[in-house]
Amino acid sequence: MTKKNSTFPSLPRELRPLLLMLPLALVLSLLIYLETISVTVAFVLSIVFILCLFQLSRKYEQEMAELRRKIILQEHESRDTKASQLLLTSIMENLADPFLLLDARKRILMANKSALDMLGHDILRKDLSLFIRSHEVNDAIGETIESGTSHTVEYLYGNVMPRNLLVRIHALDIPSQDPASSLKRYIFLSIYDITPIKQAEQMRVDFVANASHELRTPLASILGFVETLQGPARNDREAQDRFLKIMYDEACRMTRLVDDLLSLSKIEREAHIPPSGMVNLPTLIDSVVETLAVRLRKKDMSVTFRNDDHIDMVPGDYDQLTQVFQNLLDNAIKYGRENSEIDIRLYKETATPPLDVQTCNVSITNAGAGIPPEHIPRLTERFYRVDTARSRSLGGTGLGLAIVKHILQRHKGHIRFESEVNKYTRVTVSLPQTNSEAPPK
Ligand SMILES: Nc1ncnc2c1ncn2[C@@H]1O[C@H](COP(=O)(O)OP(=O)(O)O)[C@@H](O)[C@H]1O
Ligand SMILES: [Mg+2]
């Protein structure tokens, strides 16, 4: 088939050099005929010639075999290189973080899908500074191009919903084809969204600052009254009684605050362990109402409780759900109008986002000042209050709804608020009717 084999199809490769003997035999025969050399000399010459010929032919075969081996090896290597290049490209392409490759003039040569999604699909061969408008990032890239040292820069990206990005900049020196320089410098950029880490960091800082502030206020007031009692009010019996009462109230507020903080940290510790028990919800709510009966009477308030769908058992942690309804009913009493009614309703609901299962809902409605709509999205933040002074004067810590939110998260539940200023506030808690973690029966 091949051209190589078609020349001497019947003769084995090793015997092909013998064909060169034909012209030699002819020449030697002619020389013997002309009596230039004797038969013996001709014989010796042909033996030497044959030996040389075989030696040369063996060497040639060996070299050819070596060459063939090298070619096969190279073919394998180039196939492997191509495969690993493809693998690397597809890994880069599918990584969730944006990656970019720039040349030494800051032009974008390559960008993975995330980078295109982030910066736009028309960025290739354009200057990076058109898309990342940050002096710090651009200066750092400039320095990496100059010196080859790596840099890490943080910057804020976007105006509407700014994201905290971390950019790592590395120099890649690749052997070049250019005879003027042996290496060509490329810049490799990896971008990480560290917004959640920054937010968590900020939340921790805010939380410590808020908690310290909340504790310092009653502490300062207690210290102030102690000084007054030791000084100007030393002999004023009536003032002493009044101040001691205030000090007692302030100390109670500190205790409540510490209790709430401890409670929050305990709930957070258990956040990833789903509740394993079953709770009789109407009984639990009844007992919460009973616990708060004295406070209800003090404000001439009453409670109506309806359980239209005859809900009884729901999956949950008894103590934590008690805490949820105690906090919500406490708010309804605290912020509810005197001499009014609190309405508690227990009912079933199907597929209300973000829950896709049938839920048991508890709504607690009280008449009162209500909550202006702009405050509603922030109510479950720690220490967030609509009216801080009012909440404090009523003994609030600002942590009640944050605790409720965390407990409901652990129960895969949900809370929503509806309110009309100067009319009513309704808080609705949704709990999954079945335990999603339990094995199917
Ligand atoms: N039923 C309600 N009616 C009016 N405002 C409410 C009601 N429940 C909660 N709020 C508002 O939400 C804020 C946060 O509640 P919460 O976390 O329980 O803290 P606290 O009650 O200790 O102030 C309260 O300060 C109050 O402004
Ligand atoms: Mg409260």
CA atoms lying within 13 Å on the CB side of residue 166: 9
323 lines ligand 1 (CB under 6 A): no
Residue of minimum CA distance from atom 7 in ligand 1: 331
Strand 424-432 and strand 414-420: pairing?
A: antiparallel
pLDDT confidence of residue 172: 93
How many Å apart are CA 98 and CA 117, to the nearest integer?
A: 9
Residue of minimum CA distance from atom 14 in ligand 1: 385
pLDDT in tens, the chain (441 residues): 444 444 455 666 666 667 777 888 888 888 888 888 888 888 888 888 888 888 888 898 899 999 998 998 888 888 888 888 888 888 888 889 999 999 999 999 999 999 999 999 999 999 999 999 999 999 999 999 999 999 999 999 888 888 999 999 999 998 877 777 788 999 999 999 999 999 999 988 988 998 998 899 899 999 999 999 999 888 889 989 999 999 999 999 999 999 999 999 999 888 889 999 999 999 999 999 999 999 999 999 999 999 989 999 999 999 999 999 999 999 999 999 999 999 999 999 986 565 567 899 999 999 999 999 999 999 999 999 999 888 888 888 999 999 999 999 999 999 999 999 999 999 999 999 886 554 443
Residue of minimum CA distance from atom 10 in ligand 1: 331
- Taking the centre of ligand 2 as the mean of its atom positions, its distance from the CA of residue 199, in whole angstroms, is 25
Q: Which spans in 95-123 are helix H? A: 113-119
pLDDT confidence of residue 112: 94
The ligand 1 atom nearest the CA atom of 327: 18
- Listed by start position, the domains of the chain span 3-89, 95-193, 195-269, 276-441
- Taking the centre of ligand 1 as the mean of its atom positions, its distance from the CA of residue 40, in whole angstroms, is 126
| Helical axes 400-410 vs 237-269, angle rounded to 10° | 20
* Tokens describing residue 69: 């081996």
Backbone angles phi, psi at 345, to 5 degrees: -125, 135
| Sign of the four-CA dihedral 392, 396, 399, 400 | negative
Backbone angles phi, psi at 351, to 5 degrees: 45, 65
pLDDT confidence of residue 78: 84
Amino acid at 11: L
Residue 234's contacts (CB-CB under 8 Å, 6 or more residues apart) are none
Q: Ligand 1 pocket: which of 217, 379, 428 to mutate (most atoms <8 Å of CB)?
A: 379
pLDDT confidence of residue 353: 61
Name the superfamily (CATH) of residues 276-441.
Answer: Histidine kinase-like ATPase, C-terminal domain (3.30.565.10)
Specify the residue for token string 């009684």: 241
pLDDT in tens, 250-261: 999 999 999 999
405 lines ligand 1 (CB under 6 A): no
pLDDT confidence of residue 292: 95
368 lines ligand 1 (CB under 6 A): yes
* Tokens describing residue 121: 């699909």
Q: Is 68 exposed, middle or buried (0-12, 13-18, 19+ CB in 10 A)?
A: exposed
| Equal fold, 95-193 vs 276-441 | no
pLDDT confidence of residue 159: 82
Torsion of CA 55, 56, 60, 61, to 10 degrees: -30
For the domain 195-269, what is the CATH code?
1.10.287.130
How many Å apart are CA 33 and CA 234, to the nearest integer?
A: 153
* Tokens describing residue 222: 């207690």
How many Å apart are CA 109 and CA 127, to the nearest integer?
A: 10
Name the superfamily (CATH) of residues 95-193.
Answer: PAS domain (3.30.450.20)
398 lines ligand 1 (CB under 6 A): yes
Determine the distance from the C-alpha atom of residue 306 to the mean position of all C-alpha atoms in its chain, rounded to a whole number: 43
Kindly list the strands in the beta sheet with 163-175, ordered across the sheet, starting from the edge strand earlier in the chain. 108-111, 99-102, 183-193, 163-175, 151-157
Strand 183-193 and strand 99-102: pairing?
A: antiparallel
How many Å apart are CA 167 and CA 53, to the nearest integer?
A: 69
Cβ–Cβ under 8 Å, residues 383 and 210: yes
